[in-house]
């Protein structure tokens, strides 16, 4: 009598394949992601790709830098012992002087802009290597201190910093950093628009003039 032929026993790989055939395909994607993240964490995690450094526009005296908020033209830079009406007060006993920039600024927005304050235009014009906003800002035509800038109306402003007497000298190539801000639309618990996150966008290089006491400036 012939014995019945027994079917071959499935090996471990066949059983594994049969089991995986019943697992939804999308589970494999999830499992693979989990394993990838676990392996990545073991080697220090996902490193951020370094942000590409932004190239700043390079300008000279009389050239204009334009952004959605402002058009800025640095005209002249002078050292002076003191100058009334600037809103900046050097201490003569400490040897301090004033560094004054004459800058034409046009408000390109559709509503007035303040020159002072955390979001003021004062933060748009800075001395390279000196993060301080100007100690004083005044309009040249009517001597208004910390003026508001009206839309579409260029204004010549004097930005003044109190500086140590030996910090700058006649003929220095003075570098001024101009910053652009981003228009932010408030949401949820507040409303309105404001200019925030000002960042360097251009560098203006001008010759610095020492006008002494300022009698002939």
What percent of the chain clears pLDDT 70, i.e. is strictly above it? 72
Q: Is the pLDDT of residue 1 over 60?
A: no
Q: Is the pLDDT of residue 187 over 50?
A: yes
Q: How does residue 9 score in pLDDT terms, banded at 50, 70 and 90? A: low
Mean pLDDT over residues 136-165, rounded?
97
pLDDT of res. 54: 74
What is the tens place of the pLDDT at every residue in 75-126? 999 999 999 999 999 999 999 999 999 999 999 999 999 999 888 999 999 9
How far apart are alpha carbons 209 and 99 in whole angstroms? 10
Q: Which residue has the higher pLDDT, 216 or 95?
A: 95
Please write down the HEC assignment for all residues of 62-104: CCEEECCCEEEEEEEEEEECCCCCCCCCCCHHHCCEEEEEEEE
- Beta-sheet pairing, 155-163 with 148-149: unpaired
Place of tokens 């959605």: 68
pLDDT of res. 49: 45
- Which of 160-172 are b and which e, b meaning 16 or more Cβ less than 10 Å from the residue's Cβ? bbbbeeeebeeeb
pLDDT of res. 193: 87
Mean pLDDT over residues 17-34, rounded?
50
Place of tokens 């203006």: 204
The CA-CA-CA angle for residues 203, 208, 212, to 5°, reads 150
Mean pLDDT over residues 189-195, rounded?
70
Mean pLDDT over residues 166-192, rounded?
86
What are the DSSP E strand ranges found in 150-192? 155-163, 173-185
Mean pLDDT over residues 164-193, rounded?
87
> pTM of this prediction?
0.73
Q: How does residue 43 score in pLDDT terms, banded at 50, 70 and 90? A: low
């Amino acid at each position: 009598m012939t014995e019945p032929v027994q079917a071959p026993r499935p090996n471990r790989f066949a059983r594994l394949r049969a089991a995986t055939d019943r697992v939804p395909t999308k589970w494999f994607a999830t499992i693979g992601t989990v394993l990838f993240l676990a392996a990545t964490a073991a080697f220090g995690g996902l490193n951020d790709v370094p942000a590409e450094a932004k190239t700043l526009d390079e300008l000279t005296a009389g050239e204009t830098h334009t952004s959605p908020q402002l058009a800025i033209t640095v005209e002249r830079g002078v050292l002076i012992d003191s100058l009334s009406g600037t809103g900046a007060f050097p201490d003569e006993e400490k040897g301090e002087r004033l560094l004054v920039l004459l800058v034409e600024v046009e408000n390109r927005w559709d509503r007035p802009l303040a020159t002072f304050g955390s979001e003021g235009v004062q933060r748009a014009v800075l001395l390279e290597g000196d993060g301080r906003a100007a100690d004083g800002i005044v309009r040249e035509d009517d001597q208004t201190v910390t003026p508001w800038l009206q839309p579409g109306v260029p204004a010549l402003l004097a930005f003044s910093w109190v500086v140590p007497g030996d910090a700058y000298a006649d003929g220095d190539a003075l570098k001024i950093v101009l910053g652009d801000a981003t228009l932010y639309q408030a949401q949820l618990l507040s409303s309105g628009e404001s200019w925030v996150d000002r960042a360097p966008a251009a560098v203006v290089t001008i010759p610095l003039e020492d006008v002494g006491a300022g009698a002939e400036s």
